[in-house]
Structure formats: C-alpha cells, structure tokens
Amino acid sequence: MSYTDEEERQQDALDKKIEEFIQHKKRIPPPQVLHDKPDPFKADILINNLTLIIGGKTLLDQAQLKLVQGRKYGLVGRNGIGKTTLINAITRKEIEKFPQNVHILQVEQEAEADDRTVLEHVLGCDVQREGLLKEQAEIQERADKGLEEADEKEANTKRLTQIFTDLVRIEADKAESKAIKILTGLGFNQSDLVIPSKNFSGGWRMRIAIAKVIFCEPEILLLDEPTNHLDLNALIWLEDYIKQLAITVVIVSHARDFLNTTCEEIIYFFNCKLTYYKGNFDNFERVKNEKNKLQKRQKESQDKKVEHIQKFIDKFRFNAKRASLVQSRIKSINKMDLIEDVIYDPTCVFIFPNPEKMSPPMLRLDEANIGYSNGKIILEKVNINVDLETRICLVGPNGAGKSTLLKALMGELTVLEGHSFIHNRVRIGTFNQHHIDGLDMRLSAVEQMMTEYPNVHSEKIRNHLGSFGISGNLALRPMYLLSGGQKSRVAFAMVTWPKPHILLLDEPTNHLDFDAINALIVALNNFEGGIIVVSHDQYFLSNVCDRMYVVKNKKVKLFEGGIEDYRKSLLK
C-alpha cells in the first residue's frame, strides 16, 4: 500500500469515528471553561533571600525555597508555625519570583463536596477534556436538532475533526477507567462512584480530593495532612502511588512512617527559615539532633575561650605595660564568628492522672452481635476483655465497625445477641474528633472546662490544663484562636479530668505535631489504666499497644503480630 492509500485509509477511519460521535448521544457534562495546559515545567525552583509576610506575620525572613524537579519533600515544623499558610501561598503563586507557568495542585485538609457524583468530581478536574467534550456535545446537539446553517456544516465538521484529534491525543477515552482505578485504589466501591460527594464523610471527601489531584497529574503536588482521614489500607496505597509519581511532591504531615516511606528530603520550617535535610524523617531527626549537639559543644568551647580571654582583658586593662597584649586580645574576640546558642522547640508534656485500682473484668463482650435498633448487625460474635492492663489497637478499613465496637464497649450500643459487661464503678474516657468539634469556639479552655465541671475551682482547672501544655495566656484565649493541636490538648484535658480507668481513643494523633505525639506516647505508657486505640499512625501504635484486633467483614479477630506484620499482610 502506498503512502497516499494509507493516508486515505486513516482519513476514512477518522470520518467514521466522527460520524459515530455525531450519531451517539452522550450526556453533557457540567459546564467548564476550557484552559489549555501550559507547557510542562522542566526546571528546578530556587528562590534565595525570600521574605514572606502574610496577614502582618513574618512567615519567612531571608529564607531559601528550593524544589528540585521530581523530588518528594516532607515539610515539617511545630503546629502554628505556618506550614499550611506557606503551601497556600505556593499554590496561589503569591511568592515573588515563583514561576507562573508551573502547574500546581493542592489537597487541603478540608475537601469540598456538592451534588456532583464522586466520578464527576474526579473527571471534572481535567478542564481540557471536559471543555472538549462540552464543545463536541454542543455541536452534536445543534446538528441533531437541525439548527445548523448551511455554511456551518463544513466548519463544524472540521472542528469535530480537531476535537476528536485532541481527545485522542490526551487519551480521553481512557480517562474514566483511569479515574475508576484511582478511586477504587483509595477504597471506593463501584457503586460509590455515582453517589453525590456531599453524602460522604470528611474522610471519604479527602480521598476524593486526593483522587482528583492524582488524576490531573500536576507538575507540583502539595498535600496538607493527607493521612488524617485514611485507614491503613488506603494509606499504603497512597504511599505506593506517591513513590511512583515523577513529579515534585511537598507533603505536610505528622505521620512519621508516611514521611519515612514517601520522602527523599525533609524541609524543616523553624525560626522563619527553611533548612533542608537529605533522606527521610528518621534521618532528618538523627542529623538535626547530632547537629544541635555539635553546635552546643562548639558554643560551650567558644564561651570558655572567650571567658578566658576576657579575664585577661579585665585583669590587665589598666596596665600600661600590657596595653598592646590587651588590645590584641580584644581584637581576637571581635574577629571571632560567635556561635549562636542552639534554639530548641519548647518541650511538650502530657500528664494523664491515674485512676484508683480496680479488679477485673471492667469491660467485656462475649459472643456479642453488635448493631442498631433496626436489627442490622455490624459485628458478629465479638469476644474482647478490657482491664487496667489493656493496650489494644483496632485496625481495619474505614466503615468496618471500629467506632461501632467502641460504642458497644462503653454501653452506647445495646448488644443484639450475646453478653455485655460494664463494671458499675468503671469510669470511661473517650476521645474522638467529635469532642474537638463540640468545643465552644467562643470560650477559653478554662471556661470550657468550668462549663463541663462547674463545681471545680479555676486554679485546679488551670493546673490540669497545664499538664497538657495549655498554660498562661493560652488557657485564656478563645478556642477559635487555638491551633488544631492545641484544641486536641484541651479535649484530652477534659476527657481525663474524671481520672478514667479506661481510655477509648479514636484517631488521637490527628492535628498533633511530632513532639506532641511523642509526649502522648510517654503519657499513655505511664498511664495506669486500660487503653483501646483506633489509629492509622503506625509509629504511635507500635509504641503504645501490645495487642492488635483487625475489624473486617463483620468480624473482630486478634492478629498474631505487630503493626509492621499487619502492614506486610496488606501488601500481599
């Protein structure tokens, strides 16, 4: 076949495809504005001497912002230092000298939701594809209704040819299967994909937001606390996906294992500067600690040397015979590059009050079927015993029934079959996101606790809040001025005031920074009561719990092994 024949064959095939487009009615997607993607950004970003002031607060002062193309970064720093504000500024390209042609997408902590289905949300973020389909549908509709003018037909046919060519070029026919693959990887069922996004909880909305960003394949991806609402299964999937991405990724997270698995470099945000450490989070922590120790030793050595010289100066300052020597010593001090003191983050401490001793059993479920008043069983044949020595973690997919199990243990749900026992003197403390959401944002921490415990003197309340790092003026500020981590501490203080025998903790590390998580681990290990934890934080679980139950397929089963063994089982 000659080249001309081949060219004619391709044109015939293209004409046939266009005719199929015209004859086959497609659903018109939601209106979108067509924006061609910019040319891919193929360079590193380096901005020196960067000063960034937002809302009157100096965020960065003569700092360096460096993003190497394709590298995975973890952005870490204490709560309230401005990590989210910084990545928001990057997303909006509000930073001076930041390239304007780079395609940036961000997953925020709170994801949007509306009447669009899950699949529509993801497909809709590709505005180029949506724009082409919309234009194609409009031309098709005019043709079907006979509204085309005679001189329009030829132009419309040419335009449909170009639209089809563009759709083939961007592989539009593969978009839906690609979106479905991403969504199912994040834990959605096929039936979920046609449900409006507003019907999903915050955790599932976060997954939709992550799916949209992964689908759109930006050149820089910014993730703000992406693990907060993900179960371990989805977390492992996300880790694996991020590692495969060839784009630049910046992650704000307090999940140590997540950063260890995904990041090649850590950006330490402290004292209005950005310091870069090669390697994962564990390596950053080790190198930073060694650097601080070395700086401290060098500072102490230099201080001794300066003190020795200063003594000589003070002793012979008014001795004419030693004047030249004194001047020489003064010059030697002035020429020194004085080493600064090491600036440490403020120490974070949690102190949980211990309960009085009680004989077991305290909480127990025997062959219990757990569900709701309509008779629907969520968990079957559950056997679990809780006493002051208990250190249990509950893991499993979101929606499997972990929170339902906690409600049954504390007596909020009646056991449909089997037996439930709660000691008549046991005090149970529960911590979950609802406790934080239920705080009155107008009240201070002290006022909040005094509202809950009106007969307690304010001084005792303040001392107790101080055990969780809420002290001084911080305890008197309205709750809306506190960070997410500080609100969590207030909630912990309220939960532990009655000296509970048993703590039921649902995602307790959300919103806490690394130091606060370590402080919580120490406090729980010193706590002389029982603990049951629902969490996705592998580092936290491995340092607190000694038994693991997997909640899945209506069953609650003891898992033989630790959190790392469970993680490996999910990868098989």
Q: Where are the beta strands (DSSP E) in 411-564?
A: 415-422, 428-431, 502-506, 530-534, 547-552, 555-559
Calpha distance 471→478 (Å, rounded): 13
Q: Which two tokens stand for residue 176?
A: 């839906």
Neighbouring residues of 289: CB distance < 8 A, sequence distance ≥ 6 = none
pLDDT tens for the chain, residues 1 to 572: 444 555 555 555 545 544 444 444 333 333 333 334 445 555 789 999 999 998 888 999 999 999 999 999 999 998 888 998 999 999 888 898 898 888 888 877 656 678 889 998 888 876 666 677 777 888 777 777 776 676 677 777 778 888 887 777 766 777 888 889 999 888 898 899 999 988 887 667 878 888 888 888 788 999 988 887 778 877 887 888 888 888 999 999 999 999 999 999 999 999 999 999 999 999 999 999 999 999 999 999 999 999 999 999 998 888 888 888 889 989 998 888 888 888 777 778 899 999 999 888 899 999 999 998 777 899 999 999 999 999 999 998 888 899 999 999 999 988 999 999 999 999 999 998 777 888 899 999 999 999 999 999 999 999 999 999 899 999 999 998 888 888 999 999 999 999 999 999 999 998 888 988 999 999 999 999 999 999 989 999 999 999 999 999 999 999 998 888 998 888 77
Place of tokens 């580092």: 539
What type of residue sits at position 438? G
DSSP-derived 3-state class of residue 546? coil
Neighbouring residues of 298: CB distance < 8 A, sequence distance ≥ 6 = 339
Contact 183, 211 (CB under 8 A): yes
- pTM score above 0.85: no
Q: Which two tokens stand for residue 568?
A: 């490996």
Calpha distance 382→554 (Å, rounded): 9
* 278 strand-pairing partners: 265
